[in-house]
Amino acid sequence: MSGTALPAGPREHRLADLSPRKIVAELDRHVVGQGRAKRAVAIALRDRWRRQSLPREQAREITPKNILMIGPTGVGKTEIARRLARLTDAPFVKVEASKFTEVGYVGRDVDSIARDLVEAAIRLVKDERRSRVMDRAAAAAEEKLVDLLVRATAVDPVTGTAGVAEGRDRIRRDLREGRHETREVELEVADDRTPQISVMTPQGVEEMGIDLPGMLPGLFGGPKKKKKTRLPVSDARPLLLEAEADLLTDEATVPQEAIRRVEETGIVFLDEIDKIAGREGSRGGPDVSREGVQRDLLPLVEGTTVKTKHGLVRTDHVLFVAAGAFHVARPSDLIPELQGRFPIRVELNALSEDDFLRILTEPEHALPKQAAALLSADGIEVVFDREGLSAIAAAAAELNRNLENIGARRLHTILEKVLEEVSFAGPDAAGARVVIDGAYVGRALADLVKNRDLSRFVL
């Protein structure tokens, strides 16, 4: 079967329709600028589909073109990788490489990256399968509620005497019109009093090959005891919906599909890779620990097999995207073997005042749009005019120049300060229309502009 291409799932078919140009266009909807980085990840993503179109034996020999992103914090490195994964519904985990230099994290725990990726894939597959059966599950849950309401109507819960059962059609109609939301029904639910125990060992129970959850299911997240309880319809409905969706979903094949997704489309974002860039030398100390983490990561990036509670998973074709500011260390400070596993290197630019203004206006879910939507829940209409947005962008650029440069994250803190008064007013300001113009921003930030020490503390 060496001439047969790798099997394609529905997500691979979606990827077939995404050219690198289309991928960049999709990323442009959420991330401003950084064209070189977007092109690099777009090509890497397309190469995955190309590899899956080749004969099996040839495809096995083609390794992913892992990417090293170099640039200051807050310029879009994480968001590019995250959006890339969402674009193709690929399993995705973000890991801070510096965490593995801490006591108790060196060595064995590096394999937890693969295990976390499998868990992410399982959630992804479950959500996909549940969404496909949700209409049927909703109909079945409704019928269960009708049964429970008929039973509750037939027997008086106080006296225990039989009453006159309402017609099922009438109950169903009233249920859909929301007339039974506060009525109580008797339902079997999981008993939360069942103790849940987490066991930590030096190697981890998975690596020891001990199936403690199977041996003691009640203690390790297995099936819980059931108890009967009375709940209002509004609370019973989601529980019934979840139960019916579980019945309609083929849970047995979820781990198998999840592992396949990880091996073919998984993406790992290794943040703060520069924090472990150090080589063993005469100084010893932290540099030894950092090089140790690099050597622990190397097999995972090169391709290895990791044991998980769902089965063995290979990382040979997982795409690794590493990122770091590299203010002090340089990419060449990484051990040569690890450097060689990140052949694609792209440098991301620091953000300018114009970039900040674009971030506030261009993305589909820009921060001002999110803020306005949140405040609309309290009946407050918030309108940002161009001058106001320009003032916010100018303040972000100035504070990044004079304080620590945290990139676009500065916009979050400034926007919170600008909207602090109206946010605090909440429902008391219902019906108000607030225009965020240049003068409004100036007043809101006046104290911070006067007092740089305070701005350093707040922002």
Cα(407)–Cα(409) distance, rounded to whole angstroms? 5
| Closest to 362 (Cα-Cα) out of 25, 88, 23 | 25
Residue 270: pLDDT above 80?
yes
pLDDT tier for residue 201 given thresholds of 50, 70 and 90: very low
Contact 265, 11 (CB under 8 A): yes
pLDDT tier for residue 62 given thresholds of 50, 70 and 90: confident
Digit-coded pLDDT (tens) for 110-126: 889 999 999 999 999 98
Residue 280: pLDDT above 70?
no
Digit-coded pLDDT (tens) for 286-302: 565 788 889 889 999 99
CA count, 13 A, side-chain hemisphere, 227: 8
For residue 42 the two structure tokens come to 């777009």
Say which amino acid occupies 80: I
Average pLDDT over residues 36-43: 88
0.85 surpassed by pTM: no
Residue 162: pLDDT above 50?
no
Poorest-pLDDT segment among 120-134, 176-190, 256-270: 176-190
Cα(186)–Cα(422) distance, rounded to whole angstroms? 44
Taking residue 455's Cβ as centre, other Cβ atoms within 10 Å add up to 21
pLDDT tier for residue 68 given thresholds of 50, 70 and 90: very high
Residue 169: pLDDT above 90?
no
Cα(442)–Cα(437) distance, rounded to whole angstroms? 9
Residue 430: pLDDT above 50?
yes
Residue 386: pLDDT above 50?
yes
pLDDT for the residue 312: 95
Of these ranges, 179-193, 213-227, 262-276, the one predicted with the greatest mean pLDDT is: 262-276
Digit-coded pLDDT (tens) for 322-361: 999 898 888 989 999 999 999 999 888 888 899 999 999 9
pLDDT for the residue 181: 85
pLDDT for the residue 122: 92
Q: Which residues pair with 186 in a beta bridge?
A: 230
Average pLDDT over residues 249-253: 81
pLDDT for the residue 287: 62
pLDDT for the residue 192: 56
C-alpha 375 chain-centroid distance? 25
Average pLDDT taken over every residue of the chain: 80
Contact 160, 134 (CB under 8 A): no
pLDDT for the residue 452: 55
Residues in the chain: 459
Q: Which residues pair with 434 in a beta bridge?
A: 382
Residue 444: pLDDT above 60?
yes
| Closest to 121 (Cα-Cα) out of 238, 273, 247, 9 | 9
Say which amino acid occupies 281: G
Q: Which residues pair with 307 in a beta bridge?
A: 312
Average pLDDT over residues 195-206: 45
pLDDT for the residue 207: 45
Contact 325, 405 (CB under 8 A): no
pLDDT for the residue 309: 92
Contact 256, 248 (CB under 8 A): no
Between 361 and 190, name the one with better pLDDT: 361
Between 374 and 87, name the one with better pLDDT: 374
Residue 106: pLDDT above 50?
no
